Amino acid sequence: MLARRIIPCLDIRNGKTVKGIRFENVVDVGDPVELGARYAQEGADELVYLDITATHEGRKLFADLVERIAAHLHIPFTVGGGINDLGDADVLLSAGADKVSINSSAVREPGLIDRIARGFGTQFVVVAIDAKLEQNKWTVFVNGGRIPTEKELFSWAREAQERGAGEILFTSMNHDGTRNGFACDTLRELSSGLSIPVIASGGAGNMEHFLEVFRDGHADAALAASIFHYNEIPVPVLKDYLKRNNIVVR
């Protein structure tokens, strides 16, 4: 069994780290470079930076930010937001990112997964999926969780894997920001149907939730934001708790 990973997530809007609840009510929570450096020092395994309002005009601003982040980090980090073609991925990877995360653009043009995987390798490609449980079906959403699609979580995740995704980052919109725990049953089903790692996102509120998502949800990594941003659960304390409960962490 590979060691499970703890991944703080930083949503970026106009160069600042922000946080919302169920993808709404967004507030500023700090400087992304300073926060990232703190998490790295505390023992986070990786970081994810998502530009949640990425536009063509803002892409250079984000690339500049990625360069500053890379200069202050010694752990891998993934970046996403506004990656619509191979050139966008190249800019961010060249700026220092270790992986790119694609979401809405992959749903609209699934071939983008193939092209990035062929161009850079599957290990550089994270396909993020935002989905909501409605009428017993996990519907995939795009545009930051604002627009529903005809795609379904499990079939889309399998297709993404077949096209070259190296990891799946699944965010349950029903759980996001609620602090009531991860979607463990769904994560377990998702993990069992894939051969690539699954990163769990949405719902972390206490240390027991991380234990549950690894033990019961079979997630390879767990991602959270608020509890880390507000220093409610320091990364070293969380890792010590998981080790004491027989979860292998780095």
- pLDDT single digits (tens) 52-103: 776 545 567 788 999 999 999 999 999 998 899 999 999 999 999 999 999 9
pLDDT given for residue 59 in this prediction: 66
pLDDT grade for 24, boundaries at 50, 70 and 90 = low
What are all long-range contacts of 89-95, with beta carbons under 8 Å and residues at least 24 apart? 89/116, 89/119, 89/120, 89/124, 90/119, 90/120, 91/59, 91/63, 92/62, 92/63, 92/66, 93/120, 93/124, 95/63, 95/64, 95/66, 95/67, 95/70
Tell me, rounded to whole angstroms, the distance of Cα 29 from its chain centroid: 18
Mean pLDDT of 178-183: 94
- Can you read off the two tokens belonging to residue 166? 């190296």
At 85 the three-state DSSP class reads coil
pLDDT given for residue 62 in this prediction: 86
pLDDT grade for 38, boundaries at 50, 70 and 90 = very high
Q: Give me the catalytic one of 45, 51, 88, 130.
A: 130
pLDDT grade for 134, boundaries at 50, 70 and 90 = very high
pTM comes to 0.93
Mean pLDDT of 152-181: 96
- pLDDT single digits (tens) 105-126: 999 999 999 999 999 999 999 9
Q: Is 85 a catalytic residue?
A: no
CATH superfamily for 5-244 is Aldolase class I (3.20.20.70)
Residue 190 has pLDDT above 90, yes or no: yes
Residue 1 has pLDDT above 70, yes or no: no
Q: Give me the catalytic one of 11, 45, 176, 220.
A: 11
Q: Is 98 a catalytic residue?
A: no
